[in-house]
Structure 1
């Protein structure tokens, strides 16, 4: 979404019904989100709560709403809702999903032409592969083209062992993996081996190459900007000190 444009209001958008959002610390060290002093609940009716830094971002999203509430502009709220209502009840399947995605990872599949794209993939993807091999103790097989490669059977278990178990960071890790197409890049970020900008450029090598060749499509740029905001929310959960944007 371009900075000067606001997203269209969907027909089902809810008119803003509150004056202000605030953070209410809890005895367990988390914080709940309140609207005019009343607790917010997730779509499944659980209390919307998170670690205080994350809760502060959620409150800021609610306070930034205009006449109508637009969930697309609230990436942290949506991520925490997903963690509470979905991932909390499916921790093992989510961990397994990430581990399996790592065996068919973006950075494993390389172009053989043109030379410029080959060089850019190597420049950004080779360091991620090196980091992953060091962290996981497993050699990663690289191939040219799109035919699946047989990876070391220890790869998925090694990735799984590195994943968070708490629902919120696990949801964030899964979201980064999905948005980048690369569990290994998400792992490198989570382990503080790369920064967010590197993660984002790593995920978009092919797309950036096509933009150089064919120019920018406005709708595609808007979708990419939205994905980046979602990725930034996930990145903040995993590494609050690495605050993108």
Structure 2
């Protein structure tokens, strides 16, 4: 049995939380050569396993890389197939996400659930600009429907505020988020929701995507209203653009994994 080399980019702890810096760290390392001809998916008692030349792949923690659906496993097989002469983990966001889910999140799903709940207590969508009017309107148009969805679907009523001064949210609203997450607490789904939460700054956006109530493109745009406004006023920055591209790649990987998991 041949395993993928144990690379920190695919382990529990990311080499750096910033995707640009992770990529730079990875580029300084010598990438392992591609040692397999074909990546495939095979059904096993543990689920649908990713295989390289018919041999199972294991996570850095030595667990079998197996997922609950063939579609989810195929996402990773496709990432392996896309590798050329070398294996570059920075171009395999679903693999990194699933490795984290299996080796880390699965051992303590409650901790990840609680972290998402903490995000929801100070969600970006609660804090609104008071001026200029055009920005106020953009935020309201994009964010109010998500707040309304949380109230109608989760039963969570949140307070809104102008500015950045922290506003305590009702405990029953946070508890409602926890109840929703408890119903969807498999490790891969929680990992994907948590990643989307950290990338967008909003647990509510992530939950709405997971529920199929919000289009991922709309959510990504909603998460960057303030940033896009500033770009319009002051211009963009090449490094910031590159960072956003990498963050979007990770975001899309989380969305793809959620869509491939059982509903």
The answer to whether the 8 Å contact 1:128/1:184 transfers is yes
Q: How many angstroms apart in 2 are the aligned matches of 1:210 and 1:70? A: 34
Deviation at 1:76?
Answer: 0.6
Deviation at 1:158?
Answer: 0.6
| Structure-1 residue corresponding to 2:232 | 212
Deviation at 1:235?
Answer: 1.1
Q: How many angstroms apart in 1 are the aligned matches of 2:112 and 2:30? A: 30
**TM-score normalised by length of structure 2:** 0.85
| Structure-2 residue corresponding to 1:185 | 205
Deviation at 1:231?
Answer: 1.0
**Uncovered stretches (5+) of structure 2, i.e. residues with no partner:** 1-22
Q: How many angstroms apart in 2 are the aligned matches of 1:113 and 1:66? A: 50
Deviation at 1:157?
Answer: 1.2
**Uncovered stretches (5+) of structure 1, i.e. residues with no partner:** 1-5
The answer to whether the 8 Å contact 2:75/2:257 transfers is no
Deviation at 1:238?
Answer: 2.1
Q: How many angstroms apart in 2 are the aligned matches of 1:68 and 1:218? A: 27
Q: Secondary structure at the match of 2:171?
A: coil
Q: How many angstroms apart in 1 are the aligned matches of 2:235 and 2:254? A: 29
| Structure-1 residue corresponding to 2:27 | 9
Q: How many angstroms apart in 1 are the aligned matches of 2:156 and 2:38? A: 50
* CA separation of 1:38 and 1:131: change in aligned 2, threshold 3 A: same
Q: Match for 2:128 among 91, 106, 110?
A: 110
1:81-134 alpha-carbon deviations (Å, 9 max, x no partner): 011000000111111111111010010011112222111111101111111111
| Structure-2 residue corresponding to 1:155 | 173
Q: Match for 2:107 among 80, 83, 89?
A: 89
Q: Secondary structure at the match of 1:219?
A: helix
Deviation at 1:199?
Answer: 1.0
Deviation at 1:36?
Answer: 1.5
| Structure-2 residue corresponding to 1:41 | 58
Q: Match for 1:175 among 173, 176, 195?
A: 195
Q: How many angstroms apart in 2 are the aligned matches of 1:219 and 1:239? A: 30
Does residue 121 (structure 1) correspond to residue 142 (structure 2)? The answer is no
| Structure-1 residue corresponding to 2:11 | none
The answer to whether the 8 Å contact 2:199/2:247 transfers is yes
| Structure-2 residue corresponding to 1:145 | 163
1:9-50 alpha-carbon deviations (Å, 9 max, x no partner): 33232122222211111245x211111121111011111111
Q: How many angstroms apart in 1 are the aligned matches of 2:159 and 2:34? A: 52
The answer to whether the 8 Å contact 2:51/2:57 transfers is yes
Number of matched pairs = 235
| Structure-2 residue corresponding to 1:62 | 80
1:175-233 alpha-carbon deviations (Å, 9 max, x no partner): 11111110111111111111111111111111111122222322211111111111111
Q: How many angstroms apart in 2 are the aligned matches of 1:161 and 1:221? A: 37
Name the stretch that deviates more: 65-74 or 210-219: 210-219
Q: How many angstroms apart in 1 are the aligned matches of 2:155 and 2:27? A: 49
Q: How many angstroms apart in 2 are the aligned matches of 1:195 and 1:76? A: 20
Q: How many angstroms apart in 2 are the aligned matches of 1:87 and 1:11? A: 27
| Structure-2 residue corresponding to 1:77 | 95
Q: How many angstroms apart in 1 are the aligned matches of 2:84 and 2:185? A: 36
